[in-house]
Amino acid sequence: MSILSVKNLSCVYSKGTPFEHTAVDNISFDVERGDFIGIIGHTGSGKSTLVQMLNGLLKPSSGTIALDGINIWDKPKEIRKIRFKVGLVFQYPEYQLFEETVEKDIAFGPTNMGLSEKEIHERVLSAAKFVDLNSEFLEKSPFDLSGGEKRRAAIAGVIAMDPDILILDEPCAGLDPLGRDILLSQIYRYHQQRGNTVLLVSHSMEDVASVCDKVMVMNHSHLELYDTTHNVFSEGDRLNSIGLRIPQITSVIDSLIAAGIPLKKGTLTVEQAVEDITEYLKREGRL
């Protein structure tokens, strides 16, 4: 059974007013346990609205979301439990840090879950480890951390709830290139080690290409494409037509193929491209 099954999901903001706007329009998809899925789409396409519905923060206007086969709105009073199971890291989550110490901030979610002190402590340490914040950081005030460290502390707070599904809405936004690379590799490691399902909303095609197995493409409130990363980024023209692009390296390799060099189509990372080009040059006796 799919961990998440979404059927005919819609979200209409300000219904019945002149500002009525359908932000998610009749979309359906399944997510398999352990998947690492990228969600891309132009600004305003409905990505944040969609993920807020998936963790029960926003109620759908119509349609259903089943988590492990059970409709998450079957028992509206228990919707809080869904938020522990489907952990959502908002865009710019560092603005939600408010406790005296980083440790207390990370412990906020597990404390609300009613866990024992011992379990909370263990979860805080394990979550902090995923984002490389050592014990020295745990005692600091969150306000004394750098921007990137604050972001990592906020993400650790959601990881500490040990959600079955971790959703990150633009986790790398506003970080410098090194900060982005570090955070992305920590998220990748989290997925590898815990084997949990991860959904990553991102404007960076490079980031999605380097870590995600599948990609959802949102376009004007609709689900335009949902396939393996390789297949989605092989649809360069279709993505261009909706204002998105393929990763730069995919596009460079496509141009080389068009120029008659026999390389593999749908190359997703620079490392893959280097390997492929080196192999080709060796075959040709030019290296």
Ligand X SMILES: Nc1ncnc2c1ncn2[C@@H]1O[C@H](COP(=O)(O)OP(=O)(O)OP(=O)(O)O)[C@@H](O)[C@H]1O
Task: Write out the residues near ligand X by the rule CB under 6 A.
Answer: 13-14, 21, 23, 41, 43-49
Nearer to Mg ion, 123 or 180 (CB): 180
3-state secondary structure of 102: helix
What's the min distance (Å) between Cβ of 129 and Mg ion?
29
- In whole angstroms, what is the distance from residue 49 CA to residue 102 CA? 29
What's the min distance (Å) between Cβ of 48 and ligand X?
3
What's the min distance (Å) between Cβ of 68 and ligand X?
25
Which residues on neighbouring strands pair with residue 167, listed in sequence order?
88, 199
Residue (of 177, 172, 165) closest to 94 by Cα position: 172
What's the min distance (Å) between Cβ of 233 and ligand X?
19
Candidates 14-22, 41-49, 122-130, 228-236; binding stretch for Mg ion (CB under 5 A)? 41-49
Q: Which does 43 bind (CB under 5 to 8 A by kind): Mg ion, ligand X, none?
A: ligand X
Nearer to ligand X, 51 or 166 (CB): 51
Residue 78: partners with Cβ closer than 8 Å, 6 or more residues away: none
Nearer to ligand X, 202 or 267 (CB): 202
Residue (of 88, 83, 47) closest to 201 by Cα position: 47
Nearer to Mg ion, 48 or 202 (CB): 48
H helices within the chain, ranges in order? 47-54, 79-85, 102-112, 117-130, 135-138, 147-159, 177-194, 205-211, 229-232, 236-241, 248-258, 270-283
What's the min distance (Å) between Cβ of 136 and ligand X?
34
Question: Is residue 210 a contact residue for Mg ion (CB under 5 A)?
Answer: no
Q: Which does 41 bind (CB under 5 to 8 A by kind): ligand X, Mg ion, none?
A: ligand X
142 within 8 A of 153, measured Cβ to Cβ: yes
In this chain, which residue has its C-beta nearest to Mg ion? 48
* Torsion over CA: 190, 101, 168, 58 (sign): positive
For residue 231, the tally of other CB atoms under 10 A from its CB is 13
User: Which of 10, 45, 48, 196 touches Mg ion (CB under 5 A)?
Assistant: 48
**Looking at residue 122, what DSSP letter applies?**
H
Beta 165-169 vs 86-89: how paired, if at all? parallel
Candidates 19-27, 46-54, 180-188, 237-245; binding stretch for Mg ion (CB under 5 A)? 46-54
Nearer to Mg ion, 6 or 120 (CB): 6
Nearer to ligand X, 50 or 133 (CB): 50
In the complex, the residues that contact Mg ion under the rule CB under 5 A are: 48
